[in-house]
Amino acid sequence: MPELSAKSSMLQASPIRKLAPHAGAAEANGTNVIYLNIGQPDMPTPPEMMAALHDLPLTRLAYAPSEGLPEAREAWSDFFSSWDIDFAPDQILVTSGASEALTFILAIVAGGGDEVLVFEPCYTNYLSFAAQADVRLVPITLRVDDGYHFGSIDRLRACITPKTRAILLCNPSNPTGTVYTADELEAVAQVARENDLFVICDEVYREFVFDGGQIRSFTRFKDLAQRIIIVDSVSKRFNACGVRIGCMATHNREILDVALRYCQARLSVPTAEQLMVVPILENGRACSENLCGEYERRRDAVFKGLAAIDGVSPNLSEGSFYTMTRLPIDSCVEVAVFLLRVFSVDGDAVCLAPGEGFYVTDGLGVDEVRIAFMYDADTLNRAMKILGAAVGAYSGRLATTTS
């Protein structure tokens, strides 16, 4: 057989889905699995979106324009305006989720082993997007003990090399729940100014900021308008991951022109789905504001539950709908498998996302897990109790086998 490309071997299996076979086996045995590993919202897709799907004014599903349907671009522009973010429709390209936007952007701003700075732990698919674009992600490692904040601008400056092309920032962060402070955002902006860099801002969780904290889009840095590329999506904020509609937006005409060529190469984004998101984008602010309150209640349940586990000092997630935490265990992959294969309470088991898959640096995150808040607070309470009992049982088992 001919060999596959070298690039193929660089794509990692998603750590979020890796435990799926064990979860499937547990379910086949009649166990109820509580999935804390995946950020797929459990709440209904807004009725106006479902109504738009039923009432689509179409007799033929033709290709949409590569840049997106005019009404979808208008709707994204209106949605941005509702958050005081200024992008005209022709500065927006509709993409197949934020995922497609990110693969295009990385390939446009870098390549050939160029470097892009990223805070780790990071959204795990950044690693695959970068591998596809032949981009080297240079991690700035954040620590749970610092609440996953980087603090000083020197952390960024220390990573700059002649090959650095961009900073990729996810704010609020998946997987840590970090909402970067005004000073941290200014530090990112300043390093971009000093070093002639682009800033790729993944703001798919923009409005999910807890405890009354301020929502700060990176577009606030008007002097950097030509360097900023925003990535957005309907997936999370409208409980609509399966719709596969996102966008990229920038004031940089050269980037838009090149990105349009990428868009043309894939022809178009599904016509029906683009029309389906128009009404909700036009009235999107209220919808995501309501969701944020619900995620905050869930965050509180997870935080309280984790704090009650011996040896766990949870980090208070500030936004998105995730938290990362360290467990008093050497290998969270093993405890995650134990939780699915061996340990259940009253027929319930828990599926976690082991932390190591969220790091660019090998060997980091082995004692961390990411938890997504995709159930109501009562179920999350129960899940945290199961997790606590499992950590105790797993440690006890280790003590027995090693003594």
Ligand X SMILES: Cc1ncc(COP(=O)(O)O)c(C=O)c1O
- What is the binding site for ligand X (CB under 6 A)? 39, 97-99, 123, 170, 174, 202, 204, 233, 235, 241, 246
Number of C-beta neighbours around residue 391 at 10 A: 22
Of the pair 137, 349, the CB lying nearest ligand X is at 137
Of the pair 119, 338, the CB lying nearest ligand X is at 119
DSSP assignment of 175-204: TT-----HHHHHHHHHHHHHHT-EEEEE-T
Cα(260)–Cα(31) distance, integer angstroms = 48
Q: Which two tokens stand for residue 61?
A: 């599903």
Of the pair 356, 386, the CB lying nearest ligand X is at 356
Give Cα 149 distance to the centre of its chain: 17
Query: Min. distance of Cβ 98 from ligand X in angstroms?
Result: 4
Of the pair 131, 204, the CB lying nearest ligand X is at 204
Of the pair 365, 388, the CB lying nearest ligand X is at 365
Query: Min. distance of Cβ 329 from ligand X in angstroms?
Result: 25
Query: For ligand X, which residue has the nearest CB?
Result: 97
List CB contacts of 60: < 8 A, sequence separation 6 or more. Answer: none
Of the pair 208, 343, the CB lying nearest ligand X is at 208
Give Cα 349 distance to the centre of its chain: 25
Query: Min. distance of Cβ 311 from ligand X in angstroms?
Result: 28
Query: Min. distance of Cβ 15 from ligand X in angstroms?
Result: 13
3-state secondary structure of 15: coil
Among candidates 395, 341, 351, which has minimal Cα distance to 375?
Answer: 351
Query: Min. distance of Cβ 197 from ligand X in angstroms?
Result: 20
Of the pair 94, 386, the CB lying nearest ligand X is at 94
Query: Min. distance of Cβ 292 from ligand X in angstroms?
Result: 16
List CB contacts of 279: < 8 A, sequence separation 6 or more. Answer: 48, 49, 51, 52
DSSP assignment of 275-328: HHHHHHHHTHHHHHHHHHHHHHHHHHHHHHHHHTSTT-------BTTEEEEE-S
Query: Min. distance of Cβ 135 from ligand X in angstroms?
Result: 16
Query: Min. distance of Cβ 342 from ligand X in angstroms?
Result: 29
Number of C-beta neighbours around residue 302 at 10 A: 28
Of the pair 23, 101, the CB lying nearest ligand X is at 101
Q: Is residue 302 within 8 Å of 384, Cβ to Cβ?
A: yes
Cα(311)–Cα(309) distance, integer angstroms = 6
